[in-house]
Amino acid sequence: MGMLAALAAAVLAAAPARAQEPAPEAWNSGRAMELVGRARDRRQQTQADTGMVDYQADARGYIYFYLDRRDTGERTLVKTDQVALEVLWAAPNLAKQRIIGLRDRRDLPTNIQYHQDHLSVVQDNFGDLIRLGDGDEVRDVLHPAAGAAPSIYDYRLADSSSIRLPGVAEPVRVYKLEVRPRDPSVPALVGAVYVDRRAGDIVRMDFTFTPSSYVDRQLDFINIRMENGLYKGRFWLPIQQQVEIRRQLPELGLPAGGMIRGTMRISNYRFNQGLSPSLFRGRRVVSVPQAQREAFAFEEGIDAELREAGLSPATELGEVREQAAELLGRRLLSGLPGSRVDLAGATRTLRYNRAEGLALSAGYRVTPAERTSLALRAGIATATMRPFAEAEAWRGALGDRIGIGGYFRQPRDVGYAPVISGAMNSLSALLAGSDYSDPYYASGGELRAERPLGGWTASAAVRVEKHEQARLASDFSVFGGSFRPVPRIAEGTLTGGTLSLRREAPELVARGLSLGVTVDGGVLDTDFYQKDAAFVRPRVDAAYTLRHPRNGELLLEASTGAALGGVPLQAEWRIGGRGTVPGYEFRGYGGDVYGFGRATFSWNVAHPFIRGRVFGAAGWTGDEFDHDLRRRVVVDGGQAGTLDLIPERGGMASVGAGVGLFYDIIRVDLARGMGRYGRWEVIVEANPTFWDFL
């Protein structure tokens, strides 16, 4: 246990490694203002340069709409759009774009409609005034290279370096100019402008906006990256543009928000084509007829980009927002209110189970600064009329943060892992008397930390908490089902912690491997046994996904773990039934070692209404280590009689098939256990993608 505590302390104290950069100059230095002037002059000179009378180019883009999670980092794709455009320009400043190809695919039901500028290219680095969403998102924010910009912005020469641009073989030497508003309360952008060292042209821009810039009250943030390439030796023209737009209800702190992420790539420039002025009449962005758009022969599949990179925080522009926050002294950049009623998830607000009855709670979250949050939640369990509460504070961003938390009578589960969504468990318990949780209560506090480690995330927690027995407090169900007894635990005070190292595959990649190694343990000061229980539990989890480009997905999952030392009852591994090896008594197998694996193949039968699935699972539990704690059978009249604490040891295997209904949101499976204690089992559940907020 000493080694576990030492490792936890090391992770808590560690700071993420960052590259050392030269110290930036003072704000508004002579060199910085000279570079701003050169960039402004080059923008005007390019329009008047007779070496480029006009151009025509091709643009291809992907626009994704998905749900992102505040607390877990998971992404759930809702809709994908693929677009093809003809991009036209003529001196002095005529521009036209034609959408010649457009198709979409829905992974969840939605009626979202995009503004036209979400489906098109920014041809002039936005001009002097920046507008987004046709002015409904951001309206008339001054460009940092506009003539009047020095009266609004501060500039700082951060460093001189080389950057690589998409599709450009050689690195480009640039100056990085950091930009911030003199008054953070006014509409303005915040970020960095990369200026060509040779001529002063703008090569790249990374920026977000101040909160007052957002016209739409539902906007959390907008992040933008615009990259230009050099043509004909002196013209810097768009080659790639990325935008992220996140929305959420301003009144409620929901666990998920809606994100639009678009990437546009521009290529195949043809210069001085003698384009007719008549081509530029009318609106700047037009579309060919729908049938022609849908018949366009795209060079890549609609999922080509996702199959390669997936959806994950690593593919987003989080560093743009982080750098902007540093420039404003960690001032809050979100367009949403800094304090809101917190709906962290359906089950945390309203749930029903046999130990608490109907449990109700309310929460409140405050975000006083960027990357800092405080949250409080309290409620009452109506069956026991006992309160429960929790409070937490975090500093940093998901995957790179440190926090502290306290909690009182928070329900914990005896099992290996959650095997059902909270909402479905509440329905199952309320309607049929089937509660698939085995709770006990924990009260105490802990320190937590997360740090990036290469492509992995390391996390640690140290805690002191009191464990309290839960009891069968409510036996009501609508259709009169009979609840299982609540398993006995060893009550006492635990001093311990958890260390984990995880690597998650991005969502929707063609081949993805996720790995996790976790070690938890501690010392339980208890009167349940004749001595304190000191234990440690190592565990390894793995998942591999293989997606066919047309249809079909293979998911392989495996998990194994051991429990060493004086293992209290609540720390024994328990598997069997739904969530592990279906077709057996729920958590009917257990011991100090376990292992199980599951293979699932699914495919679209009639998208979006039916998705088929077949699966097989196998597992094993046993006692491989000598324990010095006395096992026993407990008789507790308050828990409906005798409760055997020693589950079955041995192996299990099962097979099954099922369907996913309406975009695979609801799943219905039929499984059959193949061993001595095997049985038929019907499982109705929501897609695990949604479990974290159900």
Write down the CATH number for the domain with range 338-693: 2.40.160.50
Q: Give this prediction's pTM.
A: 0.90
How high is the pLDDT of residue 529?
A: 74
Over residues 261-316, the pLDDT tens digits come to: 999 999 999 999 999 999 999 999 999 999 999 999 999 999 999 999 888 877 78
Token output for 114: 């995009």
Residues with Cβ within 8 Å of 30's Cβ and at least 6 positions away in sequence, in order, are none
Which one-letter DSSP state was computed for residue 195?
E
How high is the pLDDT of residue 17?
A: 43
**Cis (ω within 30 of 0) for the bond into 92?**
yes
Number of helices and strands (H, E) in the chain? 7, 36
- Give the Cα separation of 209 and 188 in Å (integer): 6
Residues with Cβ within 8 Å of 369's Cβ and at least 6 positions away in sequence, in order, are 330, 331, 332
Over residues 522-546, the pLDDT tens digits come to: 999 988 776 788 999 999 999 999 9
Residues with Cβ within 8 Å of 424's Cβ and at least 6 positions away in sequence, in order, are 684, 685, 686, 694
How high is the pLDDT of residue 125?
A: 79
With the C-alpha atoms ordered 270, 271, 276, 282, is the resulting torsion angle positive or negative? positive
- Give the Cα separation of 541 and 536 in Å (integer): 17
Q: What's the whole-number mean pLDDT along residues 154-180?
A: 86
Over residues 124-154, the pLDDT tens digits come to: 778 899 999 989 999 999 999 999 999 999 9
Q: What's the whole-number mean pLDDT along residues 163-177?
A: 82
Over residues 570-629, the pLDDT tens digits come to: 999 999 999 999 999 999 998 899 999 999 999 999 999 999 999 999 999 998 665 544
- Give the Cα separation of 227 and 167 in Å (integer): 11
Greatest mean pLDDT among 108-117, 330-339, 342-351, 534-543 = 534-543
Question: DSSP letter string over 25-36?
Answer: --TT-HHHHHHH
Distance between alpha carbon 610 and the CA centroid of its chain, in Å? 27
How high is the pLDDT of residue 216?
A: 95
Residues with Cβ within 8 Å of 391's Cβ and at least 6 positions away in sequence, in order, are 374, 375, 376, 377, 405, 406, 407
- Residue type (1 letter), 416: Y
Comparison of pLDDT for 584 and 633, the residue scoring more: 584
Question: DSSP letter string over 581-631?
Answer: SSSS-TT-EEESEEEEEEEEEEEEEETTTEEEEEEEEEEEEE--S---SPP
Token output for 450: 């997360």
Which residue ranges make up each domain of the chain? Answer: 13-327, 338-693
